[in-house]
Amino acid sequence: MPARVLDGNQIRDQILAELGAEVNSLAAAGIRPGLAAVLVGNNAASEVYVRNKIKACQTLGLHSEKITPPETITTSEMLDLVGGLNRRDEIDGILVQLPLPPQVDSKRVLLAVDPAKDVDGFHPYNVGCLVAGRPSLVACTPAGILEILKRSAIPIAGRRAVVLGRSDIVGKPVAMLLLHEHATVTICHSKTQNLAAVAREADILIAALGRPAMVTSGFIRPGATVIDVGINRLDESAAVERIFAARPEKIEQFRQKGSLLVGDVHPDHAAECAGAYTPVPGGVGPLTIAMLMSNTVRAARLRRGPASA
């Protein structure tokens, strides 16, 4: 039986439709959630990400602002900028697009964001609430992974989940979310011994390593659900030809475009071994912006209290 493809675009559209109804109900109460996106300098990838986030705000009817300080901005100036956004009542969410220039202390800047407006879910207060199981703003990609599992009717409670990667942005928070859903969770990293053998124990395998097509059939228990968080851009023909040796159409696509996206999971091996898996692109990626919108609406409700309920 072929593996089931978990369509992130379809799930994103479901979430945005639900948020649209919620935004309309808030509008009826005179509330319009607002997001401020801070984009420093001229990083091409960051500009695309922020443009897509602002576009999603406009589609939903949220207030949005893009703030573009110069590449030369100092840590002190960034802290003043964030402080000003913290004080503005019409701004419910503050997004500081990373990476910041090397002269800026990114940790100090992120720590300065009001936790009630921390729609990225990175602030230690919100991380602590996640650990304690208290209502908070959760990092967007982990929250999106949980939505994929739940909306695809993938059982979590009582299942063995293995997370490959221990980053603060994905690995640790998704492990905590799965734990709260009563999974038995193992977090793997660069020092894990017999990595493939540990991964093969998983009913739910989350790959967030940042290494293209590293997870092969030897990592996947037959029938497992595989969630591929990786987004790796290949720009060398040797790597493309190695990974996509059985898919000449992908090699041709690379020759035409000059680059190709691949996840942390070998796509052919996931299709052959898994019971269900997320593709790259079109899997976890679309959920990240959807959950950012969800966090912005949630922040508006939490900040404004019973009046917005």
Give the active site residues: 53, 97, 120
Give me 292's structure tokens: 């950012």
CA dist 30 and 16 (Å) reads: 20
What φ, ψ does residue 277 adopt, rounded to 5°? -155, 160
What is the C-alpha to C-alpha distance for residues 70 and 299, in angstroms, rounded to an integer?
28
H or E stretch covering 75: helix 75-87
**DSSP annotation of 27:** H
Distance CA(181)–CA(202), nearest Å, equals: 15
Q: By the 8 A CB rule, do 66 and 54 touch?
A: yes
Q: How far apart are CA 225 and CA 254, in angstroms?
A: 28
Rounded CA gap, 63 and 91, in Å? 8
Q: Which candidate, 5, 76, 46, places its Cα nearest to that of 67?
A: 46
Distance between CA atoms of 249 and 243, rounded to whole angstroms? 12
